[in-house]
Amino acid sequence: MKSYTKYLEFNTKNRKAFINITPEVEEALTQSKIRQGLCLVNAMHITSSVFINDDEEGLHRDFDTWLEWLAPFSKEKYRHNLSGEDNADAHLKRTIMGREVVVAVTEGKLDFGPWEQIFYGEFDGQRKKRVLVKIIGE
Point out which residues bind Zn ion (CB under 5 A). Answer: 85, 87
The residue at minimum Cβ distance from Zn ion is 85
| Residues 6 or more apart in contact with residue 76 via CB below 8 angstroms | none
- Among the residues of 1-138, which ranges form H helices? 22-32, 57-70, 88-97
Q: How many residues does the chain have?
A: 138
The residue (of 78 and 119) whose beta carbon lies closer to Zn ion is 78
| Nearest-approach distance from CB 84 to Zn ion, in angstroms | 9
At its nearest, how many Å lie between Zn ion and the CB of residue 13? Answer: 21
Closer residue to Zn ion (CB): 24 or 85 = 85
Q: Closest CB to Zn ion among 55 and 85?
A: 85
Distance CA 104, CA 98 (A): 18
CB of 23 to Zn ion, least distance (A): 30
Work out how close the CB of 16 gets to Zn ion at its nearest, in angstroms, rounded to a whole number: 15
Q: Which residues pair with 121 in a beta bridge?
A: 18, 49
Q: Which is nearer to Zn ion, 114 or 128 (CB)?
A: 128
Distances from the Cα of 115 to the Cαs of 53, 57, 118, 130, 131, in angstroms? Answer: 7, 13, 10, 25, 22
